[in-house]
Amino acid sequence: MNIKMVRFNSRVSYTLLSLVASFTVCGILLLIVGYNPLSVYGIVAEGSLGSSYSIMKSLAKATPLIFTGLSVFFADQAGLFNIGAEGQLLIGGITSGIFAYYFSTIGLPPFVSIILCLTLSFIAGAVWGFIPGFLKAYYGANEFIVSMMLNYVAQYLCEYLVTYPFRGPGVTAKTNEIPASYQLPRFVDVSQLNLGFVLGILAVVAVFLFFRYTVSGRRIRTMGRNNVAAVISGVNVRKETIIVFLISGGIAALAGSTEVLGVHGFYINDLSPGYGFDGIAVSVLAQGNSFGVLIASLLFGALRSGGSRLDLRSEVPSEFIIVLQAAVVVFIATPRLIDMLKIRRRGSSKKKEAIDG
């Protein structure tokens, strides 16, 4: 058995153990506050996998998480943090909401309209991602803080656009409704599951192929492993940093676009219940594997779908699912955090030895 296979099996084993530990700890918390964890988990399982409708609902909930998780994952491969997926999602959503309706009014063919809307949303998200990428590359700005703060800028910008210049009829602040023929096709009329799920899978495959077979993908991964070694080997770190944020922002924007075109049929202020931030958890759970993003998205999508049943079938609030997701992230991320602290401590020790010497 080669080293890569051993490492892969080790990551899978640790991920499974972390999931078991997360569910166990949260189960103990439920017992402490007086609830039966088996009953609670049973409701969640029934709500996410209990019927064909529940399964389709889980897949629909997983769709935006695939894009936002893939967005965060893409930046992470370069050793960068894109915490702005939420804002990029909103920018992509408002772009599709505005243009899809406009294209329908001028009689553009529906298929062409959908392709154009997805493309324009990707470009809009890429432009939004360019801001932290450029500031990081040329001014050394902290991309974590810049991308995070841009979430609020995007939120208030989209609120303004949907409240004033692009507001549709009705008391709710939303764009004009997009005709059904200009929306992403749904697999079943009674379900929100649409073609966006297939696009998400294709995006996962595309990212896998990008990092496996392209020169730029290998350069980006070299940056993620060792930035200094990347510079020495001739990688243009500034250029690759900007490319990473362009692509990462564009992928996140597709989450908003597919929600508008496939689920709602218009842009609304409450478009995202935090899909961009959940993408961070998805990326962490993926453990550096692009297909792991898909699996993690399916898990969190099922939890979101099943968690909505808790308010109806038990006294446990649906927010318990957020606690469970947080526990998963903590158990998965702890070893990585410890390794980072060890590396920093070694660096500090060597620096001290050099000064003393």
User: Helix (H, G, I), strand (E, B), or coil: what is residue 235?
Assistant: coil
Q: What are phi and psi of 45, to 5 degrees?
A: -65, -40
pLDDT tens column, 310-354: 888 888 888 899 899 888 888 877 665 555 455 455 555 544 555
Inform me whether the pLDDT recorded for 4 exceeds 70. no
Confidence of residue 83 (pLDDT cuts 50, 70, 90): very high
- The CATH number given to 37-340 is 1.10.3470
Looking at residue 233, what is its pLDDT?
86
Distance of CA 61 to the CA centre of its chain: 12
Confidence of residue 218 (pLDDT cuts 50, 70, 90): very high
Looking at residue 189, what is its pLDDT?
87
Q: Roughly how many angstroms between the first and final C-alpha of the chain, as a whole number?
A: 45
Indicate the domain borders of the chain. Answer: 37-340
For the chain, give the mean pLDDT: 90
Identity (one letter) of the amino acid at 30?
Answer: L
Does residue 83 contact residue 249 with C-beta atoms inside 8 Å? no
pLDDT tens column, 267-326: 999 899 999 999 998 998 888 899 999 999 999 999 999 998 888 888 888 889 989 988
Which pTM does this prediction carry?
0.91
- Cα–Cα distance between 34 and 309 in angstroms, integer? 19
Looking at residue 322, what is its pLDDT?
87
Looking at residue 134, what is its pLDDT?
97
Average pLDDT over residues 204-230: 92
Average pLDDT over residues 37-43: 94
